[in-house]
Chain A
């Protein structure tokens, strides 16, 4: 529980962002004292006018974002957190009347002791470990290739890489399901002729199969992000590297890659968040192969808890757990990337 004294605002403090104002000419002004500025000074009045207009513009431009943030994110999150602490309690065998009661941490305990939820988290973790490095490396490699000019039909290549991203996830999954299904798939038939037998929907292969669908869908998008970042690398820098005798590979790895580090972190972060919410592809594959169970990923577990088991409290608790894991991993990633950024800067400074 938050105690009020630690976060109590200074009473006279004006609303709105104090920083930009303080960063103006009167930097020596203590923020709490700005309310004490006499109102009749003409400079102060125009400044206040300007600030009010700036605030108005900010509100107009950012308002829709905050409205949506509150309506489609904060409210549902709060509802889920609230719901996760309650249960329609049915004591004994449960055939008596139902009461909605405060259940404390019971739903969380249930989710965290459920082997199917834990194995769902395990599946998501394994998926992240396989998918994220593969995605970041492939996207970066392709972007470098496009940037190096080695690819002749750059536009065509970019378009054909990006096009799958325009296909909705569910359609992508259906396309790939067709290619994975024995008896339907021309790919499996071809492999069969070459005496290669692969069960893409088998217990070992199904995760790589899902990774493949995701790669196909999202690779082009991330290539575009990296490519845009590479375009922003100053030409003099790469020219200097070439003058110093670096070949194209050396230039790419030692000069360009460090300069698009920020994009790499961003791509990793987005991919991570997307991966933890894996749902569409395995949900569709679960219709086709029994090795993808109804609780294969955390999101599928939540869906199953709510709509098969009618256990909304449990579903809410599992959602909150997934949210916390996602936030923790994202935060950890950004902390780690900041720290390594600092040390690498320090290294170059010493050199």
Chain B
């Protein structure tokens, strides 16, 4: 078993190899590989494989293949990451047959980059594409000056709220976390059996997003080493806040990404939902009966003078180490994330409220959005403002799936009355450290 895993290739040889491949493509054209990099070859187009769990990917691929003769993309729908998609990708990379292009969410980018699955895309990425991408999004996939994947969408956190309920009970939509707490008390007092929102016990990503907004830095790569501080000052502020709301029963405490969680929203038991921008579209498809009753507000702020948000959700595209055509793969990715045609194709498959990592595409998305669900509100204008407030302090860690899962295990226990929100984050850090150390990373715990 160790034999199959010896990837002793050094960086210089890897670069040399890719350069050689690219050169071979340029010089030999049709001669060596079926369809060289640039040549219009008689032997047909370059074939790329593309794995994604994103809805509408088939439509995007079809549109690409219709308009491109030199590259043909073969699409394979895979399960979402947590449902086995990431394990499938890791195993394929281990076996040496990973697809050319894979879909990876932001938290998993560093892990796949460290494992050598995601290739360093810096040499293939055009200046033009770089300039189009929202800098905050690009920063999340760039480490040590090298970009390992290209952002597709980036999702600032927002507060989706029920216009009708807030109006009916005469409660103002909160703009700060202090107002949110007051509003939560008012909701509990005035509306029997209802709460302002749910603190999700399956919401490791939510909690991370809240901490991100408050200025936390769970993982820090400065100084060339991983400094892990999941219980830093800002995080403690956030966990203490939510613990208070939980203890006073001002919020529900249960999983949200479940049928029961959806039903809770359907029964109008919650006044709102703290989530990523994409979830506005999710709401439209999961609760069609509540059309016209919803609105989107910015995430409540700690300091409204210096607004900041974290993200929840969003995907990126990576080229794997196994790809024999990184240049063509990059061309496909660039088209996919930055061309209006690609986004139109994706939106043709159904409702979506993703915020594109290339903000220039906003008009395309705005045009496709039926805003009647939100009583005519221009939600993309709000998303656009919020996306610019995404804090740049945040970096995801090397084993984020596992880290967030342990946090969620702790939150689930807290949901059953054993343990606290802070305890869950502490557990997340304690269980992450041994993992990073055994991987040989230079990792240490930051100050509290």
Contacts and interface: CB of A to CB of B under 8 A. Distances in A.
A88 B431 contact: no
Contacts of A89: 439-440
Given A95-B144, A308-B87, A291 B438 contact: no
A99 interface: yes
A114 interface: yes
A252 interface: no
A217 to B, nearest CB: 26
Contacts of A309: 399, 401-402, 435
Interface string B200-217: 011000000000000000
A19 to B, nearest CB: 39
Contact of B11 (A96, A115, A289): A96
A326 interface: no
Name the residue in B115, B398, B401, B402 with the highest tally of chain A Cβ atoms < 10 Å from its Cβ.
Answer: B402
Contact of A103 (B408, B440, B441): B440
B434 interface: yes
Interface stretch (B161-169, B278-286, B411-419): B411-419
Interface stretch (B2-10, B128-136, B185-193, B355-363): B2-10
Interface in A195-240: 202-204
Given A116-B406, A312-B1, A94 B441 contact: yes
Name the residue in B201, B408, B439, B441 with the highest tally of chain A Cβ atoms < 10 Å from its Cβ.
Answer: B439
A84 to B, nearest CB: 10
B224 interface: yes
Contact of A88 (B9, B87, B221, B439): B439
Interface in B41-89: 86-87
B385 interface: no
A98 to B, nearest CB: 5
Contacts of B439: 87-90, 94, 311
Interface stretch (A47-55, A58-66, A104-112): A104-112
Interface string A76-108: 000100110011111111111111110100110
Contacts of A304: 402
A312 to B, nearest CB: 7
Contacts of A308: 86-87, 401-402, 405
Contacts of B412: 289-291, 293
A82 B5 CA distance: 14
A110 B434 contact: yes
B396 to A, nearest CB: 12
Contacts of B418: 203
A310 interface: yes
A89 B144 CA distance: 18
A291 B225 contact: no
A315 to B, nearest CB: 10
B416 to A, nearest CB: 4
Contacts, number: 148
Contacts of B1: 79, 83, 312
A93 B409 contact: no
B417 A293 contact: no
B435 A311 contact: yes
B427 interface: yes
Contacts of A106: 437-438, 440
Contacts of A97: 7-11, 14, 116
Given A93-B221, A290-B409, A293-B409, A110 B11 contact: no
A317 B431 CA distance: 16
Nearest to A98: B7
Contacts of A348: none
A307 interface: yes
Interface in A307-347: 307-314, 317
Contacts of B221: 93
Interface string B1-38: 11001111111001000000000000000000000000
A294 interface: yes
B175 interface: no
A290 B440 contact: no
A105 to B, nearest CB: 10
A308 to B, nearest CB: 6
A202 B416 contact: yes
A2 interface: no
A109 B402 CA distance: 19
A92 B442 contact: yes
Contact of B114 (A94, A313, A314): A94
14 contacts: A87-B439, A93-B221, A93-B441, A100-B6, A110-B437, A290-B201, A290-B202, A290-B412, A291-B409, A304-B402, A308-B401, A310-B111, A311-B399, A311-B439
Given A91-B442, A295-B409, 15 more contacts: A90-B440, A93-B221, A94-B114, A94-B441, A97-B11, A98-B116, A113-B434, A115-B431, A116-B406, A203-B416, A295-B431, A307-B87, A308-B86, A309-B399, A310-B90
Kindly list the 8 A-B residue pairs having the minimum CB-CB distance in the complex, ordered from nearest: A290-B412, A89-B440, A110-B438, A293-B409, A110-B434, A203-B416, A94-B114, A114-B434
